[in-house]
Each structure stands twice: as C-alpha cells, then as structure tokens.
Structure 1
Amino acid sequence: MRGMGRLLTLAAVLVLLVGLGMMLSSTQESPVSQGVPTGTTAASAPTGSTAASAPAGDGSGLEAVAASSLPQEARETLDLIARGGPYPYSRDGAVFSNFERLLPRKPSGYYKEFTVRTPGEPDRGARRIVVGETGEKYYTPDHYESFLQILEGK
C-alpha cells in the first residue's frame, strides 16, 4: 500500500509539472513576434532586417527571410550551394527527410540539407539550409525545430 501511495504522489507531481509547463509555454511571447526568427535568441538572430511579416510565397505558411539578413555563415553556405561545392562536411547534400513535416510535403529525396557553420561549435552545430529540387531554400537555426523560407536576391 505504501508503494501505491508513492506512485500516486509521483503521478500527481508529474501531472502538475506538465500542466505548469504547458501554461508557461502558452503565455510566453513568440520570438518571431519580437522580430527574431523562431528558434533564435536576440544574440544569434541574423543581422539587418529580420524575418518578414508575410508568409513565404510557396504555400508553406512559413515566414520568409531575405538572404542578405541571414548570418554570414549561412550566406557562405548559399554561395557554396550556388557553385555546387566543394562542401566542408561529408553530410552536405544528404537527403533531408522532412520527418518534422514543417516544410511542404514532397516525395522522398526531394530535399537536400547543407550545414551552416556555427562559430565555436566543435561539430556541425544546429544550423542548416534545406534545398528543394525546384530550388526553394529554407534556413533552420535550431536543427529542424523551425524554418524560414529564404528569399534570394533580397
């Protein structure tokens, strides 16, 4: 009986913590609404203008960001992609499967991913550019937790 009481207490505490976490997350202001792309902090946000307020024109509903306002390392990766390489990481050009389903759904193999170097990171870091077969490009600063469509030439 004593074990059952502990189990019920533990379950009640867990329910309270989950409820509190949900309540806190729903009351925090979205970073995008503060002018910082989702998944970034003010310190890591791209310089210059930030995410556009209008959704991207690809039907994804994602916010768009001008390529010129991405971090320098992302612009360097875009240049490498435009030249066709050579890429510094062996996983660059690998298939991105869109398991998170944040990008428009496409057939398997449609998207490829490329690493955006993160200064101070000993490995690939969290930043990526994902490219679709028809040339659309997306930036994720937080390893696929959020995406911005890249508006090139802007």
Structure 2
Amino acid sequence: MTSMPRRGRRRSFNLRLLGGALLLGLALLLQGLWPGGQDAGYNPQLAETLRLIDQGGPFPYHQDGTTFYNREGLLPSRPRGYYREYTVDTPGLSHRGPRRVVTGGDPPEVFYYTQDHYQSFVELERSHE
C-alpha cells in the first residue's frame, strides 16, 4: 500500500516565535503591563503612586496633582476640579507613559486606574485603616 501525497498546504508555526511571545506576555504580566495585569498581581509602580498620593507628595512629575477634566466622559460627571491625575511610572520608558491614577474628591474618596491613557478605567478598591 502506497501513501498518497497530501493536497493543500501544510500549516506550521515557529516554536521559537511562540516561545518568545509567551515569554514577553509573562514579563508584561509580572510587570503589571498586560491588560488586566493590575488584578493579576502586585504592581509596585501603582503602589508607589498611591503611597505618594496618601502622603501628599512630593511627586516626580509637575503634572501630578493637576485637574483631570474627564473629557472622555468615562468617569461619573462631577464639577470641574473634582478629579486629579497622577503618573504611574512604566518600567523601560523614558517619558511619563500611559498609566495614571485619577482621584476624586479632596481629600480623595475614589481612585481610578488607567493603563491605556484614559481609554478605560478600573476603580481601585482601597482598604480603609
């Protein structure tokens, strides 16, 4: 009995490429940069920003603590000046990057996190001591 040749193209993938993609995804997840990463584990840069907000600074960027205008309309509507924004550093970048904490109230009573420069927000649950 002879084997008939297969018709059509055989699909294959590059194992090295797949392995590299998996390693990159793991590295991003561990740094808190993967979508949903803030829920997947500890984010030291976010924790540092929250610590600075709690102690009132000093903040590393002059824009930190300035009014956030909610132009995107993704947060609840509040009077101008209610929201303030703060930078969350992104490892490996030489600029502010896309990550921010936006607080509401004075003193802050609500905290939001965006990892995509205001395209989406997650409300942060903060334990009250």
Q: Does 1:123 align with 2:95?
A: yes
Q: Does 1:144 align with 2:118?
A: yes
Q: 1:84 — aligned with what?
A: 56
> Which has the larger Rg?
2
Q: 1:97 — aligned with what?
A: 69
Post-superposition offset of 1:70 = 5.1
Q: Secondary structure at the match of 2:58?
A: coil
Post-superposition offset of 1:104 = 0.4
**Where in structure 1 do 4 or more consecutive aligned residues deviate above 6 Å?**
none
Q: 1:132 — aligned with what?
A: 104
Q: 1:35 — aligned with what?
A: none
Q: Secondary structure at the match of 1:113?
A: strand
The percent of aligned pairs where both chains have the same amino acid is: 44
Aligned residues, how many?
95
Post-superposition offset of 1:153 = 2.1
| Structure with more contact order per residue of length (Cα contacts < 8 Å, sep ≥ 6) | 1
Distance 1:97 1:70, change over 3 A: farther
Q: TM-score, normalised by structure 1?
A: 0.57
Distance 1:92 1:149 in 2: 19
Deviation string 1:72-114 (CA, Å, 9 cap, x unpaired) is: 1011000000000000000000000000000000011110000
Unmatched runs of 5 consecutive residues or more in structure 2? 1-24
Any residues of structure 2 matched to 1:1-154 within 5 Å, and which? 43=28, 44-45=33-34, 46=37, 49-50=39-40, 69=41, 71-133=43-105, 134-153=108-127
Distance 2:44 2:124 in 1: 14
Unmatched runs of 5 consecutive residues or more in structure 1? 1-40, 51-68
What value does the CA root-mean-square deviation take over the aligned residues? 2.0
Distance 1:70 1:76 in 2: 11
Post-superposition offset of 1:135 = 1.5
